Amino acid sequence: MPQRPHTDTDEDPVESAAVLGTDLELGYGDTTVVDCADIVVPAGEVTALVGPNGSGKSTLLKGFSAELAPDAGTVLLDGTAVHDRSPKQLASELGLLAQENDAPGGLTVGDLVTHGRYPHRGFLDALNDADHAAIDRAIDLAGVEHLRDTALSELSGGQKQLAFVAMALAQDTDVLLLDEPTTYLDLHHQLRVMEVVRTLNEDRDVTVCVVLHDLQQAARFADYLVALDDGTVYDWGPPEDVVTEDLLADVFGVDAAVSYDDEPRIVPRRALD
């Protein structure tokens, strides 16, 4: 099992890491969920965390966002530990779109996105021009302009998710973490969300780390994949290297056919015992 990142990339992955976890142990109480030597989210790329339920994807994300203090090891963001930053400082550098998306139904999309500016405002500050610009840009990028004055309670699940994505975009961070942003969405909105993420990465050079349930989607949209198995890194690298029939058998317990002609294609056949 390769614990170290592959070395077949152009640059040293540790050098170009936006987020770097070293000798990381994360858990709740006495239970350790994640225990991995090195984990790298390369700057300027889209990295997908994949793995079966309970493999520690969300926990790892909580460690990255300083929501969970590591039992051992460190998480570095741009070279300094995430835990050394004040909450506002961290939130202006690293955005997190969590899975739970309940919010007051009476809130409009515009109001919600405005809250994305929270880390950039002082206790008494009103919105300034930079805030308005960031809000407009986020709403535009997420494609929810037409919903700006609509209450969240009147949105479909997919529209709501795009509104929350817009809020995270308004935060205007260099790194964005997303925890299963496409789960429970219809196909159209799954693709919309992933396209927004892709555009954000390409146009604004934002480093993205996204937990995805759908392996094929991860293989299509991400530059790098981190496959987690029972809290450790099973494999790391470009999708073609990581998503293999062995991975599906070893980590996911699935017998599947994997092919890369023009698109990654995963055809699961049966569950392995």
Partner 1 sequence: MSRQSRTRTGLRPSFDGALAGIAVASTAAVVLGALVQVRYGGYQMPLETVWRALFDRAVWTNPDVLATILLGDGHAELLGVYHDTAVLSDATAVVWTQRLPRVVVAVFVGANLAVAGAIFQAITRNELASPYILGVSSGAGFAVVITIVFSLGTSLLPVAAALGGTGAFLLVYAVAWRGGTTPVRLVLAGVVVGTVFNSLQTGVFYFIDSNGAMRTAVSWLAGTLTGVGWTDVELIVVPTLLVVPVALTAARHLDVLLLGERRARALGMRVETIRFGLSVLAILATAAAVSVAGLVGFVGLVVPHAVRTVVGSDYRRLLVGCLFAGPALVVVADVIARLGLGGVQVPVGVVTGLVGGPYFLLLLRRTESFNEF
**For binding to partner 1 (CB under 8 A), which residues are involved?**
65, 67, 86-92, 95-98, 100, 102-107, 110-112, 114-116, 118-119, 121, 123-124, 132, 136, 139-140, 145, 148-149, 151, 153, 171
d(CA 208, CA 94): 10
> From the CB of 171, what's the least distance to partner 1, in Å?
7
> From the CB of 29, what's the least distance to partner 1, in Å?
11
Q: Exposed, middle or buried: residue 10 (CB in 10 Å: 0-12, 13-18, 19+)? A: exposed
d(CA 273, CA 120): 51
Q: Which is nearer to partner 1, 2 or 104 (CB)?
A: 104
Q: Which is nearer to partner 1, 39 or 139 (CB)?
A: 139
Q: Which is nearer to partner 1, 163 or 225 (CB)?
A: 163
d(CA 200, CA 138): 10
> From the CB of 23, what's the least distance to partner 1, in Å?
24
> From the CB of 150, what's the least distance to partner 1, in Å?
12
Q: Which is nearer to partner 1, 90 or 197 (CB)?
A: 90
DSSP per residue, 38-106: EEEEETTSEEEEE-STTSSHHHHHHHHTTSS--SEEEEEETTEEGGGS-HHHHHHHEEEE-S-----TT
How is residue 151 annotated by DSSP? B
> From the CB of 146, what's the least distance to partner 1, in Å?
10
Residues in CB range of 125: below 8 A, 6 or more apart: none
How many other CB atoms are there within 10 angstroms of residue 8's CB atom?
A: 8
CA–CA distances in Å: residue 265 to residues 192, 216, 243, 245, 268: 20, 7, 10, 11, 10
Q: Which is nearer to partner 1, 184 or 260 (CB)?
A: 184
> From the CB of 130, what's the least distance to partner 1, in Å?
13
CA–CA distances in Å: residue 207 to residues 22, 84, 91, 173, 218: 19, 20, 14, 9, 15
Q: Which is nearer to partner 1, 107 or 191 (CB)?
A: 107
Q: 96 — phi, psi (to 5°)?
A: -135, 125
Q: Which is nearer to partner 1, 123 or 203 (CB)?
A: 123
> From the CB of 5, what's the least distance to partner 1, in Å?
27
